[in-house]
Amino acid sequence: MSNPIFADNILEGKVAFVTGGGTGITGGVAKAFAEHGAKLAITSRKIENLESMKAMIESFGGECFAVAADVRDYDGIENAIKQAADKFGKIDIVVNGAAGNFLCAADQLSSNGFGTVVDIDTKGTFNVCRAAFEELKKSQGQILNISATLHYLATPMQIHVSAAKAGVDAITRNLSVEWGRHGIRVNGIAPGPIEDTEGMKRLLPEPLKEKITKKIPVGRFGRIKDIENAALFLTSDAASYINGVTLVVDGGQWLLGTSLG
């Protein structure tokens, strides 16, 4: 397999349901899970965003079920989870990766613009967790929420995403306590600046990349692979006593307090 750090079969026998699993960071996580033995159900608003990931997973012998669903639509998500559980018999891991983002100053942002991102990121995360609860209780499964570091200090032009991801972190902590009792672990990952992602393309014009690189303590942008590795660790049995944590994977970037812009 392409990642020699973890054993190929580290997720053998597991079924993962990944929102936003067709592209970007969570696409990488879905692929890495499949490479390490998991069966995958991936969702996105548009089925065409899932087709190439499904084909890639199947090309190396993995199993992948692609289903269109909008995380803002509870009934649609509930139905997608039911279809995935019917197909694979269970769900062990839920990854909340579906997210919305654009740059906009607070004094230009409409109430609906703010609400749209909160609905996708925060309410969408709750919807998926809530709809998957019974399956996760049965499997003694776990949840991995993809967050950000934007809200640790303050990131101009990102009030909507910062508020939304702060809410995601609250969901991670609350559910880890409430659902830990049911045998469900709930953790998060807060990626820093990760190159070759839609989020970075939207937030960071290419000419600024070199300047920003100098502001990252480890001297490079993150790679999707860095998030894949963190996700494999957190969802593996190696992390069986880790619950309620949002693991920052940013090369130390946020600690310097430097805005990306």
Q: How far is the CB of 149 from ligand HXC (least distance, A)?
A: 7
- Per-residue contact string for residues 163-202; x = within reach of ligand HXC by CB under 6 A: ------------------------------x----xx--x
- Per-residue contact string for residues 37-76; x = within reach of ligand HXC by CB under 6 A: ----------------------------------------
Piece of the chain touching ligand HXC by CB under 6 A; list 52-60, 102-110, 137-145, 235-243: 102-110
Sign, Cα dihedral of 6, 145, 137, 87: negative
Say how far apart CA 193 and CA 212 lie, in whole Å: 9
Say how far apart CA 139 and CA 112 lie, in whole Å: 38
87 binds ligand HXC (CB under 6 A): no
161 binds ligand HXC (CB under 6 A): yes
Q: What letter represents residue 196's amino acid?
A: D
247 binds ligand HXC (CB under 6 A): no
Instruction: Please say which residue, 57 or 148, places its beta carbon nearer to ligand HXC.
Output: 148
Q: Which residues bind ligand HXC (CB under 6 A)?
A: 99-102, 104, 110, 112-113, 116-117, 148, 150, 161, 193, 198-199, 202-203
